Copies of this chain bind each other. A is one copy, B any other.
């Protein structure tokens, strides 16, 4: 009897990526706990360092966070003086979120710690292989990131 689907010798790509993803998140969470920030708070600070200031809704959309759940995160960041939330000058419904100097510094500190951990995790991978990995993942990134159509 010949099977319609011969036993696959190859592991699912998802089965290779998922544990890697889990391990990276675990490392990241340890660092974040150290600095009293949540994953979403760190993602928000990182996004704000790239765009410096944006409306709350735009920000949520950019990082693919929920417009209703981002509120509490910004509340905490604001209370810690890491971001400011001010009413839009032209549209008084809008809230403009901007990162502060303290927020900027904290994001850098956390990111440096996270990348240190990532390097440690992959210390057994030769440098040129690691560079190849980054190059491949950067190439794949746009293929797996839903395009932002908000400008259309």
Per assembly, the copies of the chain total 2
> Is there a chain B Cβ closer than 8 Å to A129's Cβ?
yes
Q: How far does the Cβ of A64 sit from chain B's closest Cβ, in whole Å?
A: 9
A5/B121 contact (C-beta < 8 A), A20-B140, A21-B21 known:
no
A115 within 8 A of B: yes
Instruction: Summarize A's interface: helix, strand, loop or mixed.
Output: helix
A143 contact set on B, CB distance < 8 A = 23, 121-122, 124
CA–CA, A24 and B114, complex, Å = 24
A1-27 interface code vs B (CB 8 A; 1 in, 0 out): 001111110111111111111111101
Q: Which residues of B contact A132 (CB under 8 A)?
A: 132, 136
Cα distance, A118 to B111, chains bound together (Å): 31
**Shortest beta-carbon distance, A29 to chain B, in Å?**
10
Nearest residue in B to A3 (C-beta to C-beta)? B108
A105 an interface residue at 8 Å Cβ cutoff?
yes
A-B contact pairs, 10 of them (CB 8 A): A7-B108, A8-B111, A10-B115, A13-B24, A13-B118, A17-B24, A17-B137, A19-B141, A122-B140, A124-B143
